[in-house]
Amino acid sequence: MQLRMLYLKQEDVIKAGVLDFDAALKDIEEVFRMMAKGEVVMPPKVAMDLYFPDGSPKGHLVAMPAYIKSLGIAGIKWAAGFFKNPELYGLPHGMDIIVLSDPESGRPLAIMDGTLITAVRTGAVAGVGAKFLAPDGASVAALIGAGVVGRAAGLALCSAMRGLSEVKIYDLKEEKARRLVNELPVDARSVRSAEEAIRDSDIIITATTSHSQFVKLEWLKKDCLCIELGKNEFEDSVILNSGVLVVDYWEQIKARSWVSLTRLWRDGLLNESRIKSIIDVVEEGRVEGGGLRFFSPIGMACEDLIVAYRIYRTAREKGLGIELSLWEEPYWA
Amino acid sequence: MQLRMLYLKQEDVIKAGVLDFDAALKDIEEVFRMMAKGEVVMPPKVAMDLYFPDGSPKGHLVAMPAYIKSLGIAGIKWAAGFFKNPELYGLPHGMDIIVLSDPESGRPLAIMDGTLITAVRTGAVAGVGAKFLAPDGASVAALIGAGVVGRAAGLALCSAMRGLSEVKIYDLKEEKARRLVNELPVDARSVRSAEEAIRDSDIIITATTSHSQFVKLEWLKKDCLCIELGKNEFEDSVILNSGVLVVDYWEQIKARSWVSLTRLWRDGLLNESRIKSIIDVVEEGRVEGGGLRFFSPIGMACEDLIVAYRIYRTAREKGLGIELSLWEEPYWA
């Protein structure tokens, strides 16, 4: 008997609604609540780090399996992130493939481009973080990095925080910042430095590949939320002085020695009892008040899975994509 | 710019030579030698175990990434193994998808059915094990289980051990054993019990889903090799009395509490210093002499990867499969 699966290229994933940020925010908040209820099976993701012959980091390939019991869906994201792709090959930094599987039989249901899903769900995680962690009355946001993830984060932030009065955007390439200014549905402007964007902002989102910890504590307002989507963008004093420290999956972050939080914890400078999970934050409700808050999500397979499953169902309804056979007739059946 | 990948269904994988057991044996031996040279990056595979509502095991979904530096290829197998598929859904027990990726840019090169590749490489591992571990003068083999993996193991064994005089096959379903009798290129016969197959055999391969440790020490010749492809088929005394104990990836086996070897080790009955790696065996050469030998491979991602990469190259040469676009034009590039 033929085994058929749906194949969705990026254009199909778009037609199936991946750029609907309201839906993505709903997905992410929902999967966090499912995690709180123990409905998500998700081993830590497994990364292979690759290096150039000179020993400098080339990129990584990451396997991210998950299973959401209450939705009855399992799957994996196979994620590539290669730092020099744009300049070396004219390829994006990230390229992802998602396979969805039926958790009753293990049969594959769909294979799809996961590249935009990754960007959108990462942006939506920042959006959910802002909704629950922004200080009271937050209205000005800074976005550092207007690449694929930065754009998604900007769009998700505007969906999550309808009361924003201004978004200041900085990118090393001004043209990228300007393009995003025009995409955002709020007052937005391109500024000349990270510092200019960050000073006087209530919410700061960094989405860069920098490891230089360029954001200084002295630039920050007393009451503000820092969301670190890259992993080493804020100087250590920002982390150490934050009253609220939130991550998504501490066990997964702990395994990555190059993350600032991990290094501070390993060096004994940060007690892990101070670290809260965004899952608990969403369960307990918005963190009211002010002070310095720091949110550093590393990304979780269940986020990809819930978005990919919605895309899959919409694609089925709309008749998008093509059918592939895994086999026409299994050999040795 | 469009990003294209090759898609190969099972029929294409067959046309590209997956059933060439000589080639598979060569691949497996080669990848073991590459591992010895440190050319293989392979984190332990990550499994999600799934259960029926009554708590009994339903199956597992396993992520198996690997990267072979000397071949310049990376990839992942997403493997499903669901115990009751044949009776519940008319689907095979195992269904696998393999994605190959370029380790320079991370771009996906191909997606293919990995179901037959899994069976064939597992059989080939048993074949390589027999070549290096069978006692001197081995000529009679027993094969318990004539399912997908058992058939592959029988065929691989006949390729690896050209001097075999007889293969005795037992399966709970006699019809399956008989069918395999006709496929094997040596004298083979179907027998009425596991005991009948095993008594007087020099090489015993078990390829069942049984966890009942049905193979008894008293059935075994003084000089013989036991190859356990299921994971709990030999009674503990067989393992404990073996003079040569070989696995493929001890760290990976150790993580699986339900494997006999792991249980014996955890219970303090087996010192792990007694366990040898097949990688070292292949490096050091055939283990001459006799006595009781036990080989229990759990399967490694690099085995799938080397076979899948050969299939991919052959498919490209022969123009097999279809081209898929991951995207026509990447959004937000």
What's the pLDDT at A257? Answer: 84
Residue with structure tokens 């696995």? Answer: B247
* Cβ distance of A326 and B113 shorter than 8 Å: yes
Report the gap between the CA of A238 and the closest CA in chain B (Å): 31
* Cβ distance of A61 and B47 shorter than 8 Å: no
Q: CA–CA separation, A102 vs A128, rounded Å?
A: 28
* Cβ distance of B43 and A47 shorter than 8 Å: yes
Q: Are A106 and B82 in contact (CB under 8 A)?
A: yes
Q: Are B322 and B111 in contact (CB under 8 A)?
A: no
Mean pLDDT of A26-41: 98
| Fold observed for domain B3-117+302-327 | ornithine cyclodeaminase, domain 1 (3.30.1780)
The ipTM (two decimal places) reads 0.95
Report the gap between the CA of A135 and the closest CA in chain B (Å): 31
* Cβ distance of A43 and B43 shorter than 8 Å: no
* Local confidence band at A320 (pLDDT 50, 70, 90 cut-offs): very high
Q: CA–CA separation, A331 vs A174, rounded Å?
A: 56
> Of A97, A210, A111, A225, which Cα lies nearest the Cα of A161?
A225
What is the residue extent of each domain of chain A? 3-117+302-327, 127-299
pLDDT by residue (tens digit) across A220-248?
A: 999 999 999 988 899 999 999 999 999 99
Residue with structure tokens 């965004």? Answer: A278
* Cβ distance of B326 and A9 shorter than 8 Å: yes
Residues of A in contact with B116 (CB under 8 A): 331-332
Question: What is the value of pTM for the model shown?
Answer: 0.96
Superfamily of domain covering B126-300: NAD(P)-binding Rossmann-like Domain (3.40.50.720)
Residues of A in contact with B333 (CB under 8 A): 92
pLDDT by residue (tens digit) across A254-295?
A: 888 888 999 999 999 999 999 999 999 999 999 999 999 999
Burial class (CB in 10 A: 0-12, 13-18, 19+), B83: middle
Report the gap between the CA of A171 and the closest CA in chain B (Å): 15
What's the pLDDT at A258? Answer: 83
Per the DSSP assignment, residues forming a β-bridge with B147 are none
Q: CA–CA separation, A9 vs B126, rounded Å?
A: 39
| Fold observed for domain A127-299 | Rossmann fold (3.40.50)
What's the pLDDT at B211? Answer: 83
* Cβ distance of B327 and A89 shorter than 8 Å: no
* Local confidence band at A209 (pLDDT 50, 70, 90 cut-offs): confident
Please say whether the dihedral angle defined by the alpha carbons of residues A252, A253, A257 and A258, taken in this order, is positive or negative.
positive
Decide if pLDDT at A29 tops 90.
yes
Phi, psi of B284 (to 5 degrees): -85, -20
Decide if pLDDT at A333 tops 80.
no
> DSSP assignment, residue A135?
P
What's the pLDDT at A91? Answer: 93
Number of alpha carbons in the 13 Å side-chain half-sphere of residue B307: 34
Residues of B in contact with A7 (CB under 8 A): 7, 324
* Cβ distance of A148 and B82 shorter than 8 Å: no
Burial class (CB in 10 A: 0-12, 13-18, 19+), A302: buried
Average pLDDT, chain A: 96
* Local confidence band at A90 (pLDDT 50, 70, 90 cut-offs): very high
Mutate to test the interface with B, among A78, A149, A184 (most CBs of B within 10 A): A78
Decide if pLDDT at A297 tops 90.
yes
Q: CA–CA separation, B154 vs B133, rounded Å?
A: 16
Among the partner-chain residues A7, A47, A326, the one whose CB lies closest to the CB of B324 is: A7
Among the partner-chain residues B1, B105, B151, the one whose CB lies closest to the CB of A85 is: B105
What's the pLDDT at B11? Answer: 98
Q: CA–CA separation, A109 vs A6, rounded Å?
A: 6
What are the average pLDDT values for consecutive 10-residue runs of chain B, which has 333 residues? 96 98 98 98 95 95 98 98 94 96 98 98 98 98 96 97 96 96 96 98 95 95 96 94 96 88 95 96 97 97 98 98 96 81
